[in-house]
Every structure is written in structure tokens, then in C-alpha cells.
Amino acid sequence: MSLRRVVFFQFWQSAIIGGRAETACFALIALSIFSLAASYSQAELKPEPIPNVVSLATPYPAGYAIVHDLAFGSLIDSSFSLVDINTRRFKGMISAGQFSTIDFSVGRQKYYVGETVHSRGSRGQRQDVIAIYDFADLKLVGEVDLPPKRMNMVVNESSTAITADDRFMLVFNMNPGTSITVIDLDEEAIVSEIQTPGCYMLYPGLKSSFFMMCGNGSLVSIGLDEKGQETERWSSAVFNDIDRDPLSEKAAFIQGVWYMVTYAGEVQPIDASAQRPVIGKRWWLTSEAERAANWRPAGWHGKSGHEDGLLWVAMTENGYEGSHKDPATHVWVYDLQESRRILDIELKIPALSIATTKGKQPKLLVVNIEGSLDVYEGIKGTYLQSIHQLGETPFMVHAID
């Protein structure tokens, strides 16, 4: 029965049962008006196409971000959610295997997802791969098979990198011997493997080089030629006291300088703007009084930077030996030119990880301990809004700009 007939029937029945002529007349008039209006305003719905899949407009507008779900409770099924932090819209997702990584090239309009899968799901032959997806359709457009030894660890963005010239992708391997796989992004093919005994993770500079942190407290810098082959290797003196107060391997890259921070809160700039890195002068995030009161860096990945010389660091006021991965209750903002704090943001919900957007009105993005993404004004600290339901255990967020 159509909606119009139902309405008519209910009015008419009411009129008859009630025995009131006025009501019956009113029902007839109402039905006439209703029918007349409907015939003019409601065109018949048209059949819709099948299949029908959304494509994303590219280039993306400002404000897109990727949230990385580790899926701790089902590690073989991680994912990446693409969201618009301005509209709070969920734009799509990329599915991945265990201990995945993500890099992206805005110039190439592609994502490069590192993953480990097995031929029969949770068993069978191990297969490591860089799966390539395009920005517009989040669709697989290529694969680079890796030797089955890519680093498998809880989300860490220094496991992989794309060089500053957007030419090569670098993949850190550990089995437990260490090496770097170099992929030519033009050819989407491996061009070299560089052995790196005793050294770990990847920190690309502005030139065709990168450095790694070594287990003896030094770093090693490796230069690449235009074919992705090693051209130079240089080791620094020991500068990192790993036993006493080590530098966290989770760092922020700002204006050619990597900003590393010790567990206790001492900042170590490493200038990577030239072929060889330069280890800079240290400074403290905290005053002596704040250190005495147990303020320390915290969060899973708690550093982010901005091209105007700003550093955001996630902090906790409940620091102790072993608190370096605790949720962060605050984010402190630093002027790098003067090495001083200029803003304290008390978070609505404690943070696991943070990121910031570029531009003149940067946003602070916070993956909180409830698994949602909170958005704050980056240079005011004002809470703006949240996006929920972003996977089982979201660990990390990356701004795409």
C-alpha cells in the first residue's frame, strides 16, 4: 500500500468511526491537497548503477590524514584509515598485513605500504612486500617483492623512508642481521641492498643520504648515488649514552634537522641538511624544577614539527624510569630558534601519538588512548573535534600535506 493510500485510509477510518461529517470532509480535502503536491514535487526515483565505487578527488584538499591501526588483537590484519580532519569524514581505507608501515609521495600521488603476509593466512610461506596504492582510488597499482626480512615491530615510522628527492624508498631489514633495501620509485624495483651491521632505523636527510642509530651510541651516515648504490659511509663519534639516558628513536624532522629527545627530555638536534649529518648542541625540554617534578616526554610517537621552526612534544607529569611509552597528558610547543617552550596544551584525553599539519594554521592531531583522533588548533591548543571508530588499536597518525 502506498504512503498516500495509508494516510487516506487512516483519516477516513477515523472519520467514519468517529461519525463526524466535518472530519470526513477535512480528510477528503487533505487527501486532494496531498496528492496534488506530491504529483508535482516527487519525481520517481531512478535505478542506480551497479557496481558503483567512489573515487577521491585529487589532489586531496588540505586536512587529510592517515590513521594507522596496528590491530594488536589480530596483528595479521592491520589497516590505514584516510580521514578528513575538517569535515570528520571517513574517506576510505587501505588494508594491510602484519607490522605494516606507510609512506606516501604527494608528487607521485601514491602510498607505499610495507607489510608481511603468509601464503595461507596465519601459516604458509612468509611474503614481504611494498604494496603501492594510488591516492584517487586507494587501489593496488603495483607491488615490490622484498626479501622476507623487513623489520617487524610495533608501529615505528623510522622503519622506512622516502628520500628527499622523492626518488628512492628505503626499507630497514632485521633478521636479526640488519640491512637496508633500496627501491627505485621510478622503476618500482629494488636496486640495492646495503648491509648495516649494528645500526638500526632510517633518518633521511635533504641530500641523497640517510643516517642510522647504532648500538654503540654512534650513528652511521650512508650516501647514495643516482642509481641507489652506496657511495659513502661515515660513522660519528659516540654521542648517545644508551645505558644512562638514551635518545628515543622516534623523532621529528624540521628544516633539515632531526630533533631527537632522550627519555629524560634532553633534545639532540642532528642536522641532516648536508651529505654528512652534524650532531648539534643539546638543550632541555624542561627546567630543573620540572625535571625534579617528573615531567618527561611520553606517548608512543610524541614528536612533530613545523617548517616555521616549531616542535610539538607529548609530555607526562608522571615520569619515571620506564615511562617513555606512557600516554601523554600534555603537548608542549617549542620555538626552536630560542629553544624555549611557548605553549602548554593540556589534552582532553591522553595521547598515544601526535602529528601536525603544515600551513599557516596547523592542526595538532592526537591519537588518544580511547582510539579516537582528536583535532586541536596547533598554535593555540584549542580542542576542535574528534573522529571515532578508526580501527581496533590505532597507534599513529600522519598528516598528508
Backbone φ/ψ region at 16: left (φ over 0), alpha (ψ -120 to 50), beta: alpha
Max Cα-Cα span within the chain: 101
Backbone φ/ψ region at 198: left (φ over 0), alpha (ψ -120 to 50), beta: left
Q: Is the CB of residue 213 less than 8 Å from the CB of residue 165? A: no
For 115, the 3-state DSSP assignment is: strand
Q: Considering the complex, what minimum distance in angstroms separates the CB of residue 199 from another protein?
A: 7
- Choice between 101 and 185, CB closer to another protein: 101
For 240, the 3-state DSSP assignment is: coil
- Choice between 46 and 244, CB closer to another protein: 244
Q: Considering the complex, what minimum distance in angstroms separates the CB of residue 271 from another protein?
A: 20
User: Would you state the cell numbers that stand for residue 70, as one nine-digit string?
Assistant: 596496528
User: Would you state the cell numbers that stand for residue 385, as one nine-digit string?
Assistant: 573535534
Q: Considering the complex, what minimum distance in angstroms separates the CB of residue 50 from another protein?
A: 34
Short-list 5, 276, 301, 324, CA closest to 153: 301
160 vs 383: CA distance, rounded Å: 32
Q: Considering the complex, what minimum distance in angstroms separates the CB of residue 221 from another protein?
A: 15
Q: Considering the complex, what minimum distance in angstroms separates the CB of residue 106 from another protein?
A: 21
- Choice between 27 and 161, CB closer to another protein: 161
- Choice between 217 and 280, CB closer to another protein: 217
- Choice between 49 and 121, CB closer to another protein: 121
Residue 345's identity, in one-letter code, is: I
347 vs 351: CA distance, rounded Å: 8
Q: Considering the complex, what minimum distance in angstroms separates the CB of residue 34 from another protein?
A: 46
Q: Considering the complex, what minimum distance in angstroms separates the CB of residue 190 from another protein?
A: 20
Q: Considering the complex, what minimum distance in angstroms separates the CB of residue 268 from another protein?
A: 12
- Choice between 266 and 335, CB closer to another protein: 335
Q: Considering the complex, what minimum distance in angstroms separates the CB of residue 249 from another protein?
A: 4
Write the DSSP assignment of 229-288 as a string of letters: -EEEEEEPPP---TTTSPBPS--EEETTEEEEEBTTSEEEEEE-SSSS-EE---EESS-H
Q: Which long-range contacts (CB under 8 A, 24 or more apart) does 317-322 make?
A: 317/293, 318/294, 319/264, 319/294, 319/295, 320/294, 320/296, 321/263
Residue 292 is classified by DSSP as H
- Choice between 14 and 122, CB closer to another protein: 122
Q: Considering the complex, what minimum distance in angstroms separates the CB of residue 262 from another protein?
A: 10
Q: Is the CB of residue 219 less than 8 Å from the CB of residue 170? A: no
Q: By CB neighbour count within 10 A (0-12 exposed, 13-18 middle, 19+ buried), where does 150 fall?
A: buried
- Choice between 151 and 375, CB closer to another protein: 151
- Choice between 56 and 174, CB closer to another protein: 174
State the angle between helix axes of 21-41 and 3-18 in degrees (0 to 180), rounded to the nearest 10. Answer: 170
Q: Considering the complex, what minimum distance in angstroms separates the CB of residue 188 from another protein?
A: 25
- Choice between 58 and 175, CB closer to another protein: 175
Q: Which residues of 91-129 are buried (b: 16+ CB within 10 A; e: fewer)?
A: bbbbbbbbbbbbbbbeeeebbbbbbbbeeeeeeeeeebb
HSE-CB for 83 with a 13 A CA cutoff = 27
- Choice between 66 and 213, CB closer to another protein: 213
